[in-house]
Amino acid sequence: MRSIWHDSNKIILMVVMGLLLLILGIIIFLPLIEILQKSFYAHAGSFVFLDNFIAYLREPRALSLIYNSLFISCVVTIIIVPIAFIFAYALMRSCLPFKPLFRYLALIPLLAPSLLPAISFVYLFGNQGMLKSWMGDGSIYGVWGIVLGECFYVFPHVLMILLSALSLSDARLYEAAQSMGANGVKKFFTITLPSVKYGLVSAVLVSFTLVITDFGVPKVIGGDFAVLATEIYKQVIGQQNFELGATVGVLLLIPSVITFIADGIVQKKQKSVLGAKFVLYKPKPSGLFDNIMLLFSSTVVGLLLMILSVSIFASFMKFWPYDLSLVLKHYDFNSMDGGGWDSYFNSIRLAFWSAFLGTILVFVTAYVVERGKVLSSLRSIIKFLALLPMAVPGLVLGLGYIFFFNNPQNPLHGIYQSMAILVACTIAHFFTTSYITAVTTIKQIDQEFDDVAESMGIAFYKTFFKVTVPIAIPSILEIGRYFFVNAMTTVSAVVFLYAPQTTLASVAVLNMDDAGDISSAAAMSSLIVATSVGVTLLFNFVSHYLVFATQKWRKS
Amino acid sequence: MLENAITITNVTKRFDDFVALQEINLEVKKGELVCFLGPSGCGKTTLLRIIAGLEECDKGEIIQHGKVITHLPPSKRDYGIVFQSYALFPNLSVAKNIGYGLKKQDIEKKAAKKRVKELLALVGLSGSEEKYPSELSGGQQQRVAFARAIATNPSLLLLDEPLSALDARVREHLRQEIRELQKNLGITTIMVTHDQEEALSIADKIVVMNHGIIEQIGTPLEIYHHPNSLFVADFIGKINLLSAVYKGSGYFQVGQLRFKVDILPTNEPSLEKKIKLLVRPEDIKLHYETYEEVNIIEGDVLKVTFLGSFCRVLMSVRGLLKDSLLIDLPHKALVKGTIQEGSLLKLCIAPSDVCYFMDEENA
């Protein structure tokens, strides 16, 4: 009845959708199916359903791992959410000076591998730490090292959620409250807190999930204190016990999936809070409050920068902390374990290809899901696949890739141990956040542009390139930057997938640290941070330049 | 008889459980300006989008100039469209926006350039070729959108609330301009609007819609003076509504009063039937200004509202228990100082000015 086949535009669109489905299916869906399957099968290959889990949970060691993981995640969440909240509050609700600077500096941990704070804490409080005496009889290796390192690592993630939650407040509510004589405390508890409650829930869940699935920090500074994430690593890399790795991996999937679902609910509720006519809240100067906020924010940023710079400085010291003369010998990676300078250049290649291909894939996916007018059921499936990676910790994804691609019967077996599999895995791992950015941007672009163009007989893909992409350029660049930086810093998924000829910088950090070569680990971390900062500045520069060059039509 | 530009037969559209359009039948003659008028959610925009091919109908058929276009994609149809948001491409100059659809139709670039120039002159924006949409005012953007829509010489122009984003003065001016351009070009035009004044002032034909059905199709005069449903009467202009009972020979009992109404022989109510009578406020006259012998009523002024060119007076009428009446009176009546709160007025209503509807709710 419907004459789809008479309409070349729809055919093109359907071919694109088919391709997307194929690609996303391979890089996201099938590896996940594979790991779920593995966790439900015994070593011999017979279906045992939950037996693997039950058997695992019977071990006393398993219970202590789970307890440890939960404990660390809770403690970090309890510490970091209030700190991030106050920081976000200072940025959004006080007249703090240099706000953009504070914001950029607070997000700096995003540019570092999660191993870096752990290395810094080892330098500060470790066996040869500068401030070891502060620890008294205690040791940084274990709970407190992990907690401190994780706080550094999750702070910017939590902060971003709370910043966007706090930006949603409607100024008119505050004016109405003020006119009714409400004081600051009352306004905070009756307007501010209710309006950010969904954001707070999100922040707590994200913090919890990030900590429980991270293995970089506990690996470096955890000492004997084992958690689930390090256990997977040990089982798979150390003992080649893939089945047990899969079982533990699926356990880690549980909190991630809960967070994912809860976040979906929270997002829906958050939308209804926003009215159509919305007046942005502008804080008024208030001496004492602003000064307290300045002191607080400076302290937080100061600590972040200090943790970051300890590793950087130490990487140039001859022998921390005893001989502080400046040397470059720790950067002579070729003479150490971990793959040498090649691993750094491999990382650059990985980051480049992930950014290039990932951005195209993400933007096209978002466009098709939002604007493709055919086969809405297929669009829903693509959308589901695009959102799925958010619910999957990197370790689990990496394991899934091993199971899926290392199977000799898989026609794609050839890409195993190549750069291609690392690129695919990295794109899949960081797909959802980029996808959401792209969707937000495309939603802001009037649907009627497409309608008008179509009515003039211009094919949708021409309008896509002539109108949609130029308008969305800043956000496309941001997606590219996000992929690049994350590809540089990530360890969790790729640690299972690199081969001798495709060692990566972030993995090299891990291996150097493992080999006891902490100075080189710090040096490589510093190099990663420097690259991420450089790339971020470059992307921002290009973006600003393009916005400037097109400001004639961009001004609203 | 004029040729049909668009013929719509039995068009039905559902969104899940919601029936957006039900069995729509409509003819648009060549060169006509037709307004789809109705409250939001009545289906008027959906109908326009179905004609444009931006939505597909579930049932029914659309014929344009004798050709069935029901399932054609928008690109294969012959029309231009202007949206409420104008949808001007922000990153393209005015000239490129207008020329966007010209592409290979004009083999020479020169021809396209000339056409753009022509169109800009037509909408009074000569010399704005290189400007970007953001550099234009709302009214100017609207003109560019209009020029872009007619650039390819379509035989049909679709306007989706093209004026509602503008402020009142610009809107009034532009709608007359659109009407003139449309007449000069002789282009068949369908305009969606929720503004009754807009529809009344420029349409050849108004299609009043509500809840996915067409309530009435007619000229502005027909719609205003002979609404064929309570909804239409209420939606267009102000009305007074009175509950009445039919007593035969054109007489209705309203409270303790009797009204004489011109009855259509084809639509005479049965005796004792409950009826709603409808009178427009401007059709109620001061008695000393007319020579009417029937439908004379007396009442006390409750409130006088000054509305610029006229005054709206709220009255309680003697003999009517609960119903009060709204009456629009010209200024001069007030200037004499005879009308203020509490004054007694003697009014009359011509039998031809009263409409009647069967009272569905209280039947």
Question: Worst-scoring range by mean pLDDT, A303-307, A350-354, A515-519, B141-145?
Answer: A515-519
A454–B contact, CB cutoff 8 A: yes
- For residue B92, the chain A residues in CB contact (below 8 A) are 466-467, 553
Q: What is the pLDDT of residues A52-99, one digit of tens each?
A: 777 777 777 888 888 899 999 999 999 999 999 999 989 888 888 888
- For residue A1, the chain B residues in CB contact (below 8 A) are 71
B104–A contact, CB cutoff 8 A: no
Q: Tokens 């179509």: give the residue.
A: A454
- At A273 the pLDDT is 52
- At A2 the pLDDT is 46
- At A1 the pLDDT is 41
- At B107 the pLDDT is 54
- At A423 the pLDDT is 93
Q: Tokens 């459980």: give the residue.
A: B17
Residues 124-143 of B with CB under 8 A from A: 132-135
- At A338 the pLDDT is 63
Provide the shortest C-alpha distance from residue A245 to chain B (in Å): 45
Among B90, B103, B151, beta carbon nearest to A471? B90
* A452:B77 CB<8 A: no
- At B362 the pLDDT is 47
- At B190 the pLDDT is 93
- Output b/e per residue, A254-284; b: 16+ Cβ within 10 A: ebbeebbeebeebeeebeebeeeeeeebebe
Mean pLDDT of the A494-501 span:
86
Among B75, B87, B135, beta carbon nearest to A9? B75
- At A46 the pLDDT is 65
Closest CA to A77 of A204, A254, A216, A255: A204
B310–A contact, CB cutoff 8 A: no
B358 has a pLDDT exceeding 80: no
Say which CATH class A59-327 falls into: mainly alpha
Mean pLDDT of the A328-344 span:
77
pTM for this model (two decimals): 0.82
A552–B contact, CB cutoff 8 A: yes
Mean pLDDT of the B265-278 span:
81
Q: Which helix (H) or strand (E) holds B217?
A: strand B213-218
- At B105 the pLDDT is 52
- For residue B87, the chain A residues in CB contact (below 8 A) are 446, 448-449, 451-452
Q: Could you tell me what percent of chain A has a pLDDT over 90? A: 21
Mean pLDDT of the A524-535 span:
92
More confident residue, B206 or A409: B206
ipTM of this complex prediction, to 2 decimal places: 0.74
**What is residue A112's DSSP assignment?**
S
In chain A, DSSP finds a helix count (H) and a strand count (E) of 25, 2
B339 has a pLDDT exceeding 70: yes
Q: What is the pLDDT of residues A194-215, one digit of tens each?
A: 878 888 888 898 899 889 888 8
Question: Worst-scoring range by mean pLDDT, A319-333, A393-407, B14-28, B181-195?
Answer: A319-333
Mean pLDDT of the A347-360 span:
94
**CATH numbers and ranges of domains, chain B:** 4-234 (3.40.50.300), 238-358 (2.40.50.100)
Q: What is the pLDDT of residues A355-398, one digit of tens each?
A: 999 999 999 999 998 888 777 788 888 988 988 888 888 888 99
* B75:A446 CB<8 A: no
A296–B contact, CB cutoff 8 A: no
Q: What is the pLDDT of residues A97-113, one digit of tens each?
A: 888 899 889 988 989 88
Cα–Cα distance, A431 to A435 (Å, whole number): 6
Mean pLDDT of the B29-51 span:
90
- For residue B133, the chain A residues in CB contact (below 8 A) are 553
Q: Which chain A residue has the Cα nearest residue B74?
A: A455
More confident residue, A326 or B81: B81
* B75:A2 CB<8 A: no
End-to-end CA distance of chain A: 44
Domain coordinates of chain A in residue numbers?
Answer: 59-327
* CA separation, residue A56 to residues A243, A496, B93 (Å): 11, 22, 66
Q: Label residue A303 by pLDDT band (50, 70, 90).
A: very high
Cα three-residue angle A479-A483-A486, rounded to 5 degrees? 135
